[in-house]
């Protein structure tokens, strides 16, 4: 887990805003304009799901509480179909249950709305790069939550669908192994490798090796 700091890179990322307060969205858009490209915004879960699916931004800034379900509902709807999109919670709430709930649902970080524009831009870049980012005080909630129950893994329904062999094949595939190399490594036939890859693609509802590799990398399976 990483505290917010500037990364020094100039690449403009695409960002989508989800918050039910129009004035807040306008303020964030104005503050981030010099750092990233804000490509869209939504005020409800349904609108967010539809637009994020169409735009596929690098990072979604996600409010926790909204009248029709909030950030958790957006994450539940998007994780399976768009695993490459990263989510960063941005909320007035610093309650431990909100932080833990969003992280368990798939958010890559959680910062409060007191964050400065420069810090927020840095947090967005870190999340896009695969880091987990938290406002300093909130990081302790996450550490405490997992330290208090070290024997209980974080639930991942998608990963739980895969057999141990399918996970092994996926891990090697994400590392860049060819089917022939995977077969040699696992002492199975190339046809069996193809079958496992086909099963993984079907279970995760993905269409190609590139998507699988990104999905595996996001979960630190590589």
Domain ranges of the chain: 14-147, 159-219
pLDDT of residue 221: 67
Mean pLDDT, the chain, whole residue set: 83
Q: Supply the pLDDT for residue 198.
A: 93
Model confidence pLDDT, tens digit, residues 1-12: 445 444 444 568
Bridge partner list, 60: 16, 87
Contact indicator for 118, 111 with CB cutoff of 8 Å: no
Provide Rg for the chain, Cα atoms: 19
Q: What SS3 state is found at 3?
A: strand
Q: Which pLDDT score is estimated for 10? A: 53
159-219: what fold? Arc Repressor Mutant, subunit A (1.10.10)
Comparing 44 with 67, the larger pLDDT belongs to 44
Contact yes or no for 118/6 (Cβ under 8 A):
yes
pLDDT digits (tens, 9 = 90+) for 167-192: 888 888 888 888 999 888 888 899 99
Structure tokens, 208: 């190609």
The domain made up of 14-147 has a fold known as Rossmann fold (3.40.50)
76-92 pLDDT, tens digit per residue, is 888 878 888 999 999 88
Please say whether the beta carbons of 45 and 2 come within 8 A.
Answer: no
pLDDT-derived band at 135, boundaries 50, 70, 90 = confident
Segments in 33-92 forming alpha helices (H): 45-55, 71-78
Provide CB contacts within 8 A for 220, sequence distance 6+: none
pLDDT (tens digit, 9 = 90+) per residue, 139-169? 776 666 555 554 444 556 777 788 878 888 8
Does residue 16 register a pLDDT over 90?
A: yes
């Amino acid at each position: 887990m990483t505290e917010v700091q500037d990364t020094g890179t100039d690449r403009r990322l695409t960002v989508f805003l989800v918050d039910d307060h129009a004035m807040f969205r306008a303020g964030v858009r104005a503050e981030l304009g010099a750092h990233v490209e804000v490509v869209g915004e939504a005020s409800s879960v349904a609108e967010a799901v539809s637009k994020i699916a169409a735009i596929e931004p690098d990072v979604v800034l996600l409010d926790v509480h909204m009248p029709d379900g909030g950030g958790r509902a957006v994450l539940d709807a998007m994780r399976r179909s768009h695993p490459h999109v990263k989510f960063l919670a941005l909320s007035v709430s610093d309650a431990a249950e909100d932080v833990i709930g969003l992280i368990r649902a798939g958010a890559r970080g959680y910062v409060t709305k007191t964050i400065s524009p420069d810090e927020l831009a840095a947090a967005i870049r870190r999340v896009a790069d695969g880091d987990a980012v938290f406002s300093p005080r909130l990081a302790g909630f996450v550490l405490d939550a997992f330290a208090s129950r070290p024997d209980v893994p974080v639930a991942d329904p998608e990963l739980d669908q895969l057999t141990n062999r399918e996970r092994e094949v996926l891990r090697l595939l994400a590392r860049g192994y060819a089917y022939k190399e995977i077969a040699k490594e696992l002492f199975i036939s190339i046809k069996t490798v193809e079958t496992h890859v086909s099963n993984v693609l079907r279970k995760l509802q993905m269409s190609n090796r590139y998507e699988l590799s990104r999905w595996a990398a996001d979960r630190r399976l590589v």
